[in-house]
Amino acid sequence: MAAEFAAFTSQAILDKFQKRVEVVEVWAGRILAGLVDGTLVVLAPDQQGLGGAGGKWQVQQAIKGFGKKYLSQLQVAQSGSLLFSLSEEGVNAYTLPKFKLTCQANRTRGASRFAWDDERAMLCVGCKKRLLLFHYDGKEFVETRELALPEPVLCMAWCGDSVCLGFKNQYATIHAITGALTDLFSTGNKPGAPCMVPVSKTELLLAKDNVGIFIGPDGKPSRKVGLTWSDCPVALAYSRPYVIALLPNYIEVRSAERVSQHGMAQVLPVRSASLAAATTAPDGSAFVACVSDTSTILRLVPVPLADQALQLADMEEFREALTLAALIPDVQTAGRAELEDALHTRYGHHLFAHGEFDEAMAHFGMCSYANPLMLLSLFPSLAAPKMLEPVASLMTDYKLPPVPEPEGEAYTKAVSVLLPYLLSHRSRLASFDEAGAAPDSQEASSDVEAAEAGQGQAQDGEAGPAHARLAGLDAEQRRQLAVLVDTAILKAMLDMSDTGALLLFVQRPNWADLSEGEKALQAAGRYSELVALYQRRGQHDKALDLLQKLSQKPGSLKQAPQGASAELNGLTGVWAAVKYLVSVGGSEQDLVKRHARWILKADPEAGLEMFIQMEPPLPPATVLPVLTAQAPALCAPYLEAVLHNGVADAAEFHDELALIYLRRLLEDEKAQPDAVAYANNVAQANGTAAGSTSGTDSAFDKLKDLISSSEHLDAERLLSVLPSHSAPEIRALLLERLGRHSEALQIYVHRMKDVKKAEAYCDRFYETKTAGRSKGTMPAAAWNSQDDSAAYDMYLALVQVILEREDESAPSSGRASKPSSSTWGEVARLLSRKQDRIEPNHALNLLPGEVPLHVVLPFLEGAIRGAGEQRRNAAVVKSLRKSENLQIWEELIRCKQRHFIVSSERACTICHKRIGSSAFVAYPDGTLVHYSCYKRTSTGNLGASGGSGMGSHRRVSSGIPIV
């Protein structure tokens, strides 16, 4: 490692001192040094305060014989006003600053070590094989306890309620209250005195050979990790977070908070061979006395934590650096945050370079100004460096060493780690824009407002500085950033195994750059995703061209289709195109027209489906020419579907549809010379057995249905198109629509020889005509009405037609003009079947004179019987009416018979006065009232006459009161 880490800088404050310094202690910015002969030397810097780094220190005071014979230990109480010293005569307490002896601890003569605890004001003294505990009450030491020890104590320190003791070969703790002595562990195999240093009030560091072990008040190791020095320490000092170990030839500084196993150490050289003592000032400075033939006191001034952290970072010890940065007090938060950002960035960078992508990204993520650019700059293949330029203001200010982009497997791994972070940045951008958009809508917003919105967001707990940086960009730059991020996401997903996520991503709104994405997707053969991207960007033509290629000639693509697109050859591709066009909808007419061609060619059904499903639908007028040109057979199903779902207007397209049917019908006819017979057969089959499946989907049936159901057909036009020799039934139907009944009937009877159909025709006509009025009146009376004569005259028209046939056929056949009996029979049967619908007189008039009577007999019989029936019916009706009349008379008489007896007691029910001889009103329930009272109570009510007013007044609906 090139650079040497320095936690402290050393400075000699006392050099080449002739006497041996045994002990040093810090007191109010001064140093108390105890000499081997018992002299106490007070050292102070030239200028007051410890600050002056280069400042000279001078001996301020020297008290000879401060300790008798020697001074082996000094400790200043936390208050700074009390000093404890250990010399041959024992532990003495002095008040500071005058060094006035206040008291002595009894029986401590010849003590080896003491430990003072500020909190409890307790002094613990190891004196030969005894341990004495004193309480200092402000004036003197009061012995509280004496405990026996197996051997003299060499060092000791308080730790919670216990005192940790170091013997020659062993460490032990003794509980100050219970006196329980617990052995800990040996001091090690190598020769050397035990040594320890308090790290906190409840934690001690004990040296065992060259290993430091942290223990808690219970004597058990408090940390899993200890410290290791390169030699056995002679003395230890602690300046958070460092343990300063005085080794026989040098000082070694190691962090007690170290996190990595190869914790950094600083080594400070010292000239002398042996080191004696060390102590720590409140500002973190440590003072070390080194002794050989002369004494030196070194002051170790801590390097500011931030500088240390940077040093460590320079040495790539980022974790240590971060740990140190965390120790910087909160007062300096701003600086610390900056430092930590720098450390996270550099650490992330370092980790990234070493293939630790997960941790690297996590550290980038911990930067307060984390932004996608930091990440993207590491992946030139996801985002070309020059594309980053427009938003370079987001870049960190640190010059980071260039890191080659990972390759191969590592690249895939890195990208998969990167992806969620990119997505999170995407979310942040989106939520930033959302927050920024809010003020936008209220009033014209400036960037300042956007920044404020960003700040508001920050208060919601989002990373503030990151938002501030985003706010520093204008909308265009933010858009560019979004493009960068989304493009990178697209490319990153391409490099990962296909889970369908990429397709999902491009299908949703995104900012991915079209040309970049196009290139990348093409190179990877991910055509489905490319189609989706095209669609997102409105490049429908390109998308559909691609789909066409995929489906029709996948071989023409440079890169074999991968992923979802691999399945798009052939029909699936066609259907994909159909789905595409359906979603684009009818707004893109030209597009649909252009691509309908190949789709229809490849799979007519798909094409049909497309036109039918399209939302918004394409106007049928546009679709039909396309279909006629490409797949005429589909015109009819298309029109049927769009008519059914209401896209096409019946008025407009029924004609079209009928013509299409007609055309097909004629084609069929041409193909099958006996089509007429066929049509007749079918017609007969339909006429007799409903729902014969064979014929239902034929053009003939559809046309028939259409003609009979549609209200919009132009029958005239169709008729003109229909050749006279074909499809007689259709012709008949059309004629029917036009009201040319006799022509229609002629077709049925003569051309089709189907009297039943003709009769059905008449029935249909009759029923529609009479349907309207049949409700109120009796059916039997229908033909009585003169208005509806046309309805039943149709039957007569039929009879006429049947007879005409005979007339026509007679000369041609050369037979006698005598109608054949079969014809007569037919006519007769018809007449008798429908006799209730035919005016017999009219019918008789129609029949020519030569009709044999026996033939007409059934009809006449029927007619006479019908007339008789009618007469009887009328008689019954007459009688019924008469009895009804009688009933009403009876009722009337009963009503007239009502009477009331008005005696002198009868009183008016309203005024309760006697009726007397005044005019009165009687209610139907028998109560009587004065006429005047009645008038009064029914003021304004109908009440002209007593009689008619009653009903509404008393809830009685009938009855005639007598006035």
Partner 1 sequence: MASRKRTLLKVIILGDSGVGKTSLMNQYVNKKFSSQYKATIGADFLTKEVQVDDRLVTMQIWDTAGQERFQSLGVAFYRGADCCVLVYDVNVQKTFDNLDNWRDEFLIQASPNDPDNFPFVVLGNKIDVEEGRSRAVTEKKAKQWSTQKGNIPYFETSAKEDTNVDAAFQCIARNALKNETEEEMYIPDTVDMNTQQTASKASSCC
Please report, as residue ranges, which positions from 400 to 439 form the binding site for partner 1 (by CB under 8 A). Answer: 416-417, 419-420, 423-424, 426-428, 430-431, 434
Residue 440 as a binder of partner 1 (CB under 8 A): the answer is no
Nearest approach, Cβ of residue 562 and partner 1 (Å): 19
Least separation in angstroms between residue 122's CB and partner 1 is 29
| CA 345 to mean position of chain CA atoms | 31
Identity at 739, one-letter amino acid code: G
Q: Does 102 interact with partner 1 (rule: CB under 8 A)? A: no
202 vs 416, beta carbon nearer partner 1:
416
List phi, psi (to 5°) of 145: -165, 150
What are the backbone angles phi and psi of residue 851, rounded to the nearest 5°?
A: -65, 125
Stretch that binds partner 1, among 224-232, 726-734, 818-826, 862-870 (CB under 8 A): 224-232
Candidate residues 260, 645, 696, 708; the one interacting with partner 1 per rule CB under 8 A: 260
By the rule CB under 8 A, 211 interacts with partner 1: yes
Q: Does 442 bind partner 1 (CB under 8 A)?
A: no
Using CB atoms within 10 Å of the CB of residue 507, give its burial: 0 to 12 exposed, 13 to 18 middle, 19+ buried. middle
| Among 150-158, 221-229, 570-578, 852-860, the segment contacting partner 1 (CB under 8 A) | 221-229
Which CB, 149 or 458, lies closer to partner 1? 458
329 binds partner 1 (CB under 8 A): no
State the DSSP code for 5: P
The minimum distance between CB 334 and partner 1, in angstroms, equals 18
Distances in Å between the Cα of 182 and the Cα atoms of 123, 157, 187 are 20, 15, 15
In the bound complex, what is the minimum distance in angstroms from residue 397's beta carbon to partner 1?
Answer: 22
Task: Mark 771-810 with x for binding to partner 1 (rule: CB under 8 A) and - for no binding.
Answer: ----------------------------------------
Cβ-based nearer residue to partner 1, 269 or 404: 269
List of residues 6+ apart from 299 with CB closer than 8 A: 10, 11, 12, 13, 57, 285, 286, 287
Binding partner 1 by CB under 8 A: which of 505, 511, 575, 761?
505
Residue 496, amino acid? M
Q: Least distance in Å: CB of 420 to partner 1?
A: 5
Token match 């019954």: residue? 876
The answer to whether 514 contacts partner 1 (rule: CB under 8 A) is no
- Backbone torsions φ then ψ of 885, nearest 5 degrees: -55, -45
Q: Of the two residues 97 and 456, which places its CB atom closer to partner 1 in the complex?
A: 456
Match 């001996």 to its residue by tokens.
59
> For partner 1, which is the closer residue by CB, 461 or 555?
461
DSSP-derived secondary structure for 341-359: HHHHHHHHHHHHHTT-HHH
Least distance between partner 1 and beta carbon 262 (Å): 7
Q: Could you give the angle at which helices 447-459 and 408-442 cross, rounded to 10 degrees?
A: 110
DSSP string, 429-497: HHHHHHHHHHHHHHS---HHHHHHHHHHHHHTTS-HHHHHHHHTS-HHHHHHHHHHHHHHHHHHHHHS-
Judged by phi (left if over 0) then psi (alpha if -120 to 50, else beta), residue 422 lies in alpha
Closer of 226 and 585 to partner 1 (Cβ):
226
Question: Of 54 and 555, which CB lies nearer to partner 1 in the complex structure?
Answer: 54
Structure tokens at 669: 């006819």
Residue whose CB is less far from partner 1, 433 or 640? 433
Please answer whether residues 684 and 754 qualify as being in contact, where contact means their C-beta atoms are separated by less than 8 angstroms. Answer: yes
x/- string (CB under 8 A) for partner 1, residues 349-368? Answer: ---------xx--x--xx--
Inter-axis angle of helices 728-738 and 699-709, nearest 10 = 10
Q: Does 228 bind partner 1 (CB under 8 A)?
A: yes
Q: Are 888 and 958 in contact (CB under 8 A)?
A: no
Near partner 1 by CB under 8 A: residue from 58, 499, 589, 885: 499
Position 705 contacts partner 1 (CB under 8 A)? no
Inter-CA distances, 196 with 77, 123, 162, Å: 19, 18, 14
Q: Which stretch binds partner 1 (CB under 8 A): 16-24, 115-123, 249-257, 724-732?
A: 249-257
Give the interface segment with partner 1, choosing from 118-126, 246-254, 628-636, 769-777 (CB under 8 A).
246-254
Q: Are 239 and 256 in contact (CB under 8 A)?
A: no
Asked whether position 538 contacts partner 1 by CB under 8 A, the answer is no
CB of residue 226 vs partner 1: minimum separation in angstroms?
Answer: 6
- Contact status: 441 vs partner 1 (CB under 8 A): no
When the beta carbons of 102 and 249 are compared against partner 1, the nearer one is 249
- Least spacing, CB of residue 502 vs partner 1, in Å: 9
Backbone angles phi, psi at 901, to 5 degrees: -100, 120
CB 256: neighbour CB atoms within 10 A? 22
CB of 381 to partner 1, least distance (A): 19
Interface of this chain with partner 1, residues 452 to 491, rule: CB under 8 A = 459-462
Nearest-approach distance from CB 224 to partner 1, in angstroms: 5
Give Cβ neighbours of residue 749 (< 8 Å, ≥ 6 apart).
755, 758, 798, 801, 802, 805
Residue whose pair of structure tokens reads 């006819």 in the numeric block: 669
Which of 179, 159, 293 is closest to 221 using CA atoms? 159
Alpha helices in 511-552 (DSSP H): 514-524, 527-536, 540-552
Segment interacting with partner 1, rule: CB under 8 A, options 258-266, 676-684, 787-795, 830-838: 258-266
Q: Which is nearer to partner 1, 133 or 244 (CB)?
A: 244
Cα 202 to Cα 205: distance, rounded to the nearest angstrom:
10
Is 269 a binder of partner 1 (CB under 8 A)?
yes
Q: Are 590 and 561 within 8 A, CB to CB?
A: no
In this structure, how many other beta carbons lie within 10 angstroms of the beta carbon of residue 177?
Answer: 10
By CB under 8 A, the count of residues binding partner 1 is 45
Pick from 111, 199, 204, 265 the residue near partner 1 by CB under 8 A. Answer: 265
> By CB under 8 A, is residue 634 in contact with partner 1?
no
For residue 308 the two structure tokens come to 């240390």
Of 87, 173, 187, 210, the one binding partner 1 by CB under 8 A? 210
* Residue 923 interacting with partner 1 (CB under 8 A): no
Q: What is the smallest separation between the CB atom of 543 and partner 1, expressed in angstroms?
A: 22
Q: What's the rounded Cα separation, in Å, for the pair 513 and 329?
A: 46
Contacts with partner 1 by CB under 8 A lie at: 1, 4, 210-211, 223-226, 228, 230, 249-250, 252, 260-262, 265, 267, 269, 358-359, 362, 365-366, 416-417, 419-420, 423-424, 426-428, 430-431, 434, 459-462, 499, 501, 504-505, 508
